[in-house]
Amino acid sequence: MIRVGVITISDRGYRGEREDTSGEVIQEMVRRMGAEVEFSTVVPDEQERIKEVLIQGADKMGLDLIVTTGGTGVSPRDVTPEATREVIEREIPGFAEAMRIMGVKKTPHAMISRAVCGVRGRTLIVNLPGSPKAVQEGLEVILTAIPHTIAKIQGDPRECGE
């Protein structure tokens, strides 16, 4: 079973001024693929705090997948991609590219997403935008590739076509 952590990055959510509906969408979607959500939190748009929580989920909890929501745009406090790049060891650009390509078909605003996806140790880390609709649309694009990706990250020796 895939063990998942969900991190919502939102100053207003952290202060209790906004409900975390995007994190709930992620939890519902990954559970439908048979995963278990072991960790869910809301943190402010602070690069060091985001890094700490990503490292905790990957290194200390040994999660298979960490999905973030929020902080991927171009606002001054949007620092999720920078935090993610500082903790990942290898980037997987195809995930983010696929989400942007499909997103642009629905709204031109998708092209300003700076989402990053990559690997830290044996953990896949995926950034998603902050809106529930964008979360659902983005996660739908990559959801079927996640189990295979995690298997490969964790050493599955089978060929990709098998």
Ordered strands of the 36-43 beta sheet: 36-43, 3-9, 65-69, 123-128, 117-120, 90-91
Residue range(s) defining the domain that contains residue 70: 3-153
Which amino acid type is present at position 64? D
pTM: 0.96
Domains of the chain: total: 1
For residue 130, is it within any domain? yes
List, for residues 103-161, the tens digit of each pLDDT value: 999 999 999 999 999 999 999 999 999 999 999 999 999 999 999 999 999 998 877 66
For residue 62, is it within any domain? yes
For residue 92, is it within any domain? yes
List, for residues 44-96, the tens digit of each pLDDT value: 999 999 999 999 999 999 999 999 999 999 999 999 999 999 999 999 999 99
CATH code (residue 122):
3.40.980.10
Q: Are 30 and 7 in contact (CB under 8 A)?
A: no
For residue 161, is it within any domain? no
Residue with tokens 């909890």: 61
Distance from C-alpha of 91 to C-alpha of 43, rounded to nearest angstrom:
23
CA–centroid distance for 137 within its chain: 13
For residue 149, is it within any domain? yes
Distance from C-alpha of 119 to C-alpha of 89, rounded to nearest angstrom:
6
Instruction: Give the helix/strand (H/E) hosting 13.
Output: helix 11-14
